[in-house]
Amino acid sequence: MMARLTRIADRYQLAERERGLSFVQRYERQLRQLEKIIRISDQYQQMLRELNEELQRTASHDLLTGLFNRRYLYDRLGEELGKAARGHGQFALAMADVDLFKQINDSYGHDIGDAALCHVARQLAAPLREYDLCGRWGGEEFLLLFPGGDLEAAQQGIQRIRQRLQDEPFVHDGRVCPLTLSFGVTEYRQGESTTAILKRVDEALYRAKHAGRDCLECA
């Protein structure tokens, strides 16, 4: 009841104020209100745009390393496979895994392990050509996609990554913590599925681990 009375009183006061204004003053006032509404609407749209961009980024990127996530990589792999199957180009694929990463966690703790993963992610991404893709496949495993590339191109990319990891090692507490990666590499074979190529690259990585780590095995 009180709220209703207050609303009626407010409306009455507003009407009284309006009566004291000239037509031009009333018109200008309405115009100002309209401008205010447009400004709010613009800000609102900008906010929605930013939210949308943030949402898209979160859906396609790994939270820890900022690289592409598994879901995005899987979709892109499907696209490249589709293109190659239709005869529009070739591509190569590599799976990288940090060697003996458990020891990093056990020796320095999980937070330093996280920092080491971020370091690896930066060194993986930096030397790649702009149309090559790199993302976190899960845990301490990374996937590299070389659209338009063959085994040779992938090997060259990986060589640049390994060199960079040597030149810029992970440093914790002023001390160098040497990190190495094992790689499995393969290229697309006509007519094969996503599962088949992923299985083959995984097997190549497995062989690299069994060959003593810090190396590259081609399938």
Ligand X SMILES: Nc1nc2c(ncn2[C@@H]2O[C@H](COP(=O)(O)OP(=O)(O)OP(=O)(O)O)[C@@H](O)[C@H]2O)c(=O)[nH]1
Catalytic residue set: 140
SS3 label, residue 219: coil
* Closer residue to ligand X in complex, CB, 83/213: 213
Q: Is 3 exposed, middle or buried (0-12, 13-18, 19+ CB in 10 A)?
A: exposed
Write the CB contacts of 144 (distance below 8 Å, at least 6 apart in sequence): 93, 94, 95, 96, 124, 128, 132, 133, 134, 154, 157, 158
* Closer residue to ligand X in complex, CB, 78/138: 138
Question: In the complex, which residues of this chain contact ligand X (CB under 6 A)?
Answer: 64, 97-102, 105, 110, 113-114, 117, 139-140, 209, 213
CB of 86 to ligand X, least distance (A): 36
Residue nearest to ligand X (CB): 113
SS3 label, residue 218: strand
CA angle 15-17-23, nearest 5°? 90
CB of 137 to ligand X, least distance (A): 11
CB of 163 to ligand X, least distance (A): 20
* Closer residue to ligand X in complex, CB, 199/213: 213
Taken in order 13, 17, 23, 29, the sign of the CA dihedral is negative
- CA–CA dist 116, 172 (Å, integer): 9
* Closer residue to ligand X in complex, CB, 114/192: 114
Write the CB contacts of 169 (distance below 8 Å, at least 6 apart in sequence): 176, 177, 178, 179
CB of 62 to ligand X, least distance (A): 9
CB of 109 to ligand X, least distance (A): 8
* Closer residue to ligand X in complex, CB, 148/169: 169
